[in-house]
């Protein structure tokens, strides 16, 4: 079975499960990379049950199927979130256009296309994507009077302000200013319709989460992390999930040492001696137990800030951050460089990092032996790799990492990873 056949067979099965019309919001099957559906509550439950039984995995409104012949998703929403005290949302199916070959899958009328776009416009806080703009233009081409019809349907649904905001956004040659968008969102609440419905529509503009979901890959150099980061991003892209990847290596606070060169003046204990520059501990703190402990806290805070900067300062619209190295790897480096290599006790610094550092929503340890890692990349000594391999095992319960056998074929690992990520992101 190829991807086109998978799309068609999925659509036909859903069409057979449904008992009433189901709106196809995007491209009709077998076109499009996914199937975007809006169904009445009873059909929503029946379709969800079929998708679960057919091996689709749910994240939010999206059901995804992984494996041969490829990735395929079904975006399934219920009209329940459209229902109000004045309307049961059946108006969304008025004048729907049949799709040849299907009994229940239908295309929305031009006016309903505008209603759907208006709700998405509110969710994006007044921003209109090129894809949504194209759909609005297509609806107006099919029916030049679609705005008037959409406003008639919008009143009982509490969508009048949302449709007017969409109209203003669509007709503007440039993106609306922040103040205009705020005013437009406020009008969603002030226009006609049941107050509970207007409030529910406006609440769609609130951020779903303060930060994107985070997936991290940890392990020794040469374990295959980078390969799996690339594979995961590619598969998520096919489902319309915008992701950004980062490499978040360990920071030794070198920037602070550059700004305060006094830190690298030899301490009295080393005065007059020709000492090699320590890449971790400033020379002025050598020989001082308090000084080295304090520097441990500085390094911890630098690394926390470094990781949080990646998490919080992300491109707009990013749903997922994928890290090649993250907090578990930094914890390993802290233990390796302070405790294993220099014999410095960092018990409290470690606890501080564990509390303050960002945690992955789904984390993986790509596990290979130190011998395998050294055979792949000779960038560290065998002893360093052996120490790190041991330290990585300690991070599995601490960060609830999923342990992966890094010696398995890349395709096998990729399938396990993407299904684990999709199940783990709630």
User: Is 269 a residue whose pLDDT tops 60?
Assistant: no
Using a CB cutoff of 8 Å and minimum separation of 24, what contacts does 57-62 make? Answer: 57/419, 57/422, 57/423, 59/422, 59/423, 59/425, 59/426, 62/34, 62/239, 62/240
Enumerate the β-bridge partners of residue 245: 322
* φ and ψ of 329, to 5 deg: -70, -35
Beta strands in 158-281 (DSSP E): 213-218, 243-247
Q: State the pLDDT confidence band at 128, using cuts at 50, 70 and 90.
A: confident
The pair of structure tokens assigned to 280 is 């971790």
Of residues 36 and 276, the one with the higher pLDDT is: 36
Q: State the pLDDT confidence band at 140, using cuts at 50, 70 and 90.
A: very high
Largest CA distance in the chain: 90
Looking at domain 3-203, its CATH architecture is 2-Layer Sandwich (3.30)
User: Is 126 a residue whose pLDDT tops 90?
Assistant: no
End-to-end Cα separation, the chain, in angstroms: 31
Mean pLDDT for all residues in the chain: 90
C-alpha distance from residue 337 to each of 28, 63, 302 (Å): 57, 44, 15
* φ and ψ of 199, to 5 deg: -65, -40
Q: Residue 384 and residue 392: Cα distance in Å, rounded?
A: 12
**Which CATH fold would you assign to the domain 213-424?**
Rossmann fold (3.40.50)
The pair of structure tokens assigned to 255 is 């920037």
Of residues 162 and 30, the one with the higher pLDDT is: 162
Enumerate the β-bridge partners of residue 244: 321
Range scoring the smallest mean pLDDT among 5-14, 35-44, 283-292: 283-292
User: Is 267 a residue whose pLDDT tops 80?
Assistant: no
How confident is the model at residue 178, as a pLDDT? 83
Q: Residue 107 and residue 419: Cα distance in Å, rounded?
A: 31
Q: State the pLDDT confidence band at 273, using cuts at 50, 70 and 90.
A: very low
The pair of structure tokens assigned to 404 is 């992966």
Q: Do domains 3-203 and 213-424 have the same CATH topology?
A: no
Cis peptide, bond prior to residue 69, ω within 30 of zero: yes
For residue range 174-220, list pLDDT tens digits in order. 888 888 888 888 888 888 889 998 898 888 877 666 678 999 999 99
Q: State the pLDDT confidence band at 426, using cuts at 50, 70 and 90.
A: low
Range scoring the smallest mean pLDDT among 32-36, 108-112, 320-324, 383-387: 32-36
Q: Residue 209 and residue 358: Cα distance in Å, rounded?
A: 14
For residue range 43-70, list pLDDT tens digits in order. 999 999 999 999 999 988 899 988 777 7
Identify the three-state secondary structure at position 32: coil
User: Is 270 a residue whose pLDDT tops 60?
Assistant: no
Q: Residue 327 and residue 400: Cα distance in Å, rounded?
A: 12
Burial (0-12, 13-18, 19+ Cβ within 10 Å), 220: buried
Q: What percent of the chain has pLDDT over 90?
A: 63
How confident is the model at residue 103, as a pLDDT? 95
Highest mean pLDDT among 5-9, 32-36, 297-301: 297-301
> Where do the structural domains in the chain lie, given as residue ranges?
3-203, 213-424
| Torsion (CA) 337, 338, 343, 348 in degrees, nearest 10 | -150
């Amino acid at each position: 079975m190829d991807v086109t056949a998978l799309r068609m067979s999925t659509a036909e099965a859903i069409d057979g499960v449904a008992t009433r019309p189901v709106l196809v919001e995007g491209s009709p099957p077998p076109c499009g990379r996914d199937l975007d559906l809006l169904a009445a509550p009873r059909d929503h439950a029946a379709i969800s049950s079929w998708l679960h039984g057919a091996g689709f995995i749910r994240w939010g409104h999206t059901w995804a199927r992984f494996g041969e012949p490829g990735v395929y998703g079904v975006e399934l929403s219920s009209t329940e979130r459209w229902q109000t005290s004045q309307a049961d949302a059946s108006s969304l199916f008025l004048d729907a256009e049949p799709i040849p070959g299907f009994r229940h899958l239908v295309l929305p009328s031009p006016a309903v296309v505008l209603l759907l776009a208006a709700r998405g416009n509110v969710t994006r806080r007044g921003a209109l994507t090129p894809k949504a703009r194209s759909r609005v233009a297509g609806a107006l081409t099919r029916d030049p009077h679609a705005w008037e019809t959409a406003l008639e349907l919008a009143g009982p649904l509490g969508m009048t302000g949302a449709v007017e905001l969409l109209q203003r956004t669509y007709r503007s040659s440039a993106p609306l200013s922040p103040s205009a968008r705020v005013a437009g969102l406020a009008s969603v609440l002030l226009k006609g319709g049941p107050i509970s419905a207007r409030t529910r529509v406006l609440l769609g503009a609130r951020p779903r989460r303060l930060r994107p979901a985070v997936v991290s890959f940890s392990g020794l150099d040469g374990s295959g992390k980078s390969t799996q980061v690339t594979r995961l991003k590619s598969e998520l892209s096919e489902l319309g999930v915008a992701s950004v990847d980062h490499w978040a290596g360990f920071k030794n606070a070198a920037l602070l040492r550059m700004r305060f060169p006094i830190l690298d003046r030899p301490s009295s204990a080393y005065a007059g001696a020709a000492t090699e520059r320590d890449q971790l501990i400033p020379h002025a703190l050598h020989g001082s137990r308090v000084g080295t402990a304090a520097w441990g806290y500085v390094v911890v805070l630098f690394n926390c800030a470094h990781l949080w900067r990646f998490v919080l300062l992300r491109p707009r619209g990013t749903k997922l951050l994928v890290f090649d190295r993250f907090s578990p790897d930094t914890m390993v480096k802290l233990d390796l460089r302070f405790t294993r290599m220099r014999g410095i006790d960092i018990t409290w610094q470690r606890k501080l990092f564990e509390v303050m550092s960002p945690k992955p929503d789904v984390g993986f340890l790509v596990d290979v032996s130190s011998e395998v890692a050294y055979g792949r990349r000779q960038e560290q000594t065998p002893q360093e790799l052996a120490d790190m391999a041991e330290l990585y095992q300690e991070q599995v319960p601490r960060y609830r990492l999923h342990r992966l056998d890094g010696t398995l074929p890349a395709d096998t690992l990729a399938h396990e990873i993407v299904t684990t990520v999709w199940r783990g992101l709630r």
